[in-house]
């Protein structure tokens, strides 16, 4: 175990990608990056993180920002509960910790939206504490290095991997204490816990990738059971996930005097508080006349008026958790307009200030373009 630490630290000090959140030890900035990086790739997060830090550079600003601002800064990143939890946590820090980001692991873990992995990442990266991390990348790296055959998503195997990650970072801390070893491109001095965790994350992201790991350039090749037994492509041994469930929605694009009918999603549902075009779920397997009448019925129910004409506009496919969603958009013409519309009328220019759910953002751009060009 101890033999793994020096090559990982050396490799990280020379090969770490120069990411903007790696140039700081500010726990607020690191926390924002870790929350954004949950379920999202580095290249996607980078501009979002930079914009967030520009607009809300300190924790106090995040705590006091309006929900519209938070949603707009998050628009397109998905999993919006993260943004709402982030603000709740910022307010909690203001109230319970006097605006100072907590250093204690249990206090960090108690923040809304922060789990064991994220708390471990923040405490190790910002404060150089020996708190382990285990995300998908680290899990893959450790499963391969230690030749673990069991499914790492199983509870027992997960506990074992947490134990290994904990032992590794404890070794790094012990080595640092003994040698006051330096690492990292920032010249921060002794921060082995920070570097050890980041080296595992980085190795999983750029070398020990899910497919075709680059074992020939890996710093721990000689210590890796999977490599030595030529089993890297067999590990981790993940059980097949439940197959995706198809779902189909009809979205209605209704225009009046250059404005579109849009509405805000209610609290307590997926993508709560984000904007969308009126829509309804229709049967995924419907075809032909049954499909046509299902859309007409949905439009009548939503708008409170039977449509005079419904024309297909576009189709947008996306996935949320285990659902593979097809959103079919229709341009709807009405004879008259509902007295109490199920939403508000907004122009394409006003869309810029609203945070839309991802599929509806695409539809907003598409619809605006279609209407402008007639």
Binding site for ligand SF4 (CB under 6 A): 141, 144-145, 207-208, 213, 215, 218, 220-221, 224, 226-227, 232
Residue 177: exposure state from Cβ atoms within 10 A (0-12, 13-18, ≥19): exposed
Q: Quickly list DSSP for 61-72.
A: HHHHS-HHHHHH
**Closest distance to ligand SF4 from the beta carbon of 215 (Å):** 3
Pick 125 or 208: Cβ nearer ligand SF4: 208
Pick 227 or 249: Cβ nearer ligand SF4: 227
Q: Which of 34, 176, 202, 255 is catalytic?
A: 34
**Closest distance to ligand SF4 from the beta carbon of 227 (Å):** 4
Count of helix runs (H) and strand runs (E) in the chain: 15, 7
**Which tokens go with 347?**
């122009």
Pick 93 or 218: Cβ nearer ligand SF4: 218
Pick 212 or 257: Cβ nearer ligand SF4: 212
**Closest distance to ligand SF4 from the beta carbon of 1 (Å):** 14
Q: Where are the alpha helices (DSSP H) in the chain?
A: 5-15, 27-37, 42-55, 59-64, 67-74, 81-96, 105-109, 116-127, 136-145, 155-179, 192-206, 225-228, 288-303, 348-351, 358-372
**Closest distance to ligand SF4 from the beta carbon of 14 (Å):** 16
**Closest distance to ligand SF4 from the beta carbon of 46 (Å):** 24
Tell whether the torsion through CA atoms of 68, 71, 76 and 81 is positive or negative. negative
122 closest CA partner among 194, 23, 219: 194
Pick 232 or 355: Cβ nearer ligand SF4: 232
**Is residue 29 a contact partner of residue 53, using CB atoms and an 8 Å limit?**
yes
Residue 60: active-site member: no
301 C-beta neighbours (distance < 10 Å), count:
10
> Which residues are annotated as catalytic?
34
């Amino acid at each position: 175990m101890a033999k793994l630490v020096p090559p990982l630290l050396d490799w990280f000090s020379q090969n770490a990608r120069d990411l903007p959140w790696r140039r700081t030890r500010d726990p607020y900035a690191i926390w924002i990056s870790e929350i954004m990086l949950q379920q999202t790739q580095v290249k996607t997060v980078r501009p979002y993180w930079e914009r967030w830090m520009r607009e809300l550079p300190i924790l106090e600003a995040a705590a006091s920002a309006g929900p519209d601002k938070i949603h707009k800064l998050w628009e397109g990143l998905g999993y919006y509960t993260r943004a709402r939890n982030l603000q709740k946590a910022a307010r909690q820090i203001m109230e319970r910790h006097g605006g100072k980001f907590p250093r204690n692991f249990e206090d960090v873990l108690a923040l809304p939206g922060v789990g064991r992995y994220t708390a471990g990442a923040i405490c190790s990266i910002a404060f150089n504490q020996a708190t382990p991390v285990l995300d998908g990348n680290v899990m893959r790296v450790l499963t391969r290095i230690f030749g673990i055959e069991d499914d790492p998503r199983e509870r027992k195997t997960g506990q074992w991997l947490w134990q290994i990650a904990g032992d590794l970072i404890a070794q790094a801390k012990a080595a640092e204490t003994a040698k006051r070893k330096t690492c990292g491109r920032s010249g921060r001095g002794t921060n082995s816990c920070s570097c050890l965790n980041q080296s595992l994350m980085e190795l999983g992201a750029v070398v020990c990738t899910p497919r075709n790991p680059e074992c020939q350039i890996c710093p721990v090749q000689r210590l890796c059971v999977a490599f030595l037994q030529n089993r890297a492509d067999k590990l981790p041994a993940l059980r097949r996930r439940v197959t995706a469930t198809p779902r189909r929605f009809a979205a209605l694009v209704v225009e009046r005097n250059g404005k579109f009918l849009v509405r805000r999603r209610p609290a307590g549902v997926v993508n709560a508080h984000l904007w969308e075009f009126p829509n309804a779920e229709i049967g995924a397997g419907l075809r032909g006349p049954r499909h046509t009448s299902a859309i007409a019925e949905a439009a009548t129910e939503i708008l409170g008026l039977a449509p005079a004409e419904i024309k297909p506009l576009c189709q947008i496919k996306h996935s949320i958790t285990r659902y593979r969603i097809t959103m079919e958009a229709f341009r709807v013409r009405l004879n008259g307009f509902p007295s109490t519309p199920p939403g508000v009328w907004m122009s394409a220019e006003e869309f810029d200030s609203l945070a839309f759910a991802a599929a509806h953002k695409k539809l907003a751009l598409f619809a605006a373009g279609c209407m402008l060009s007639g």
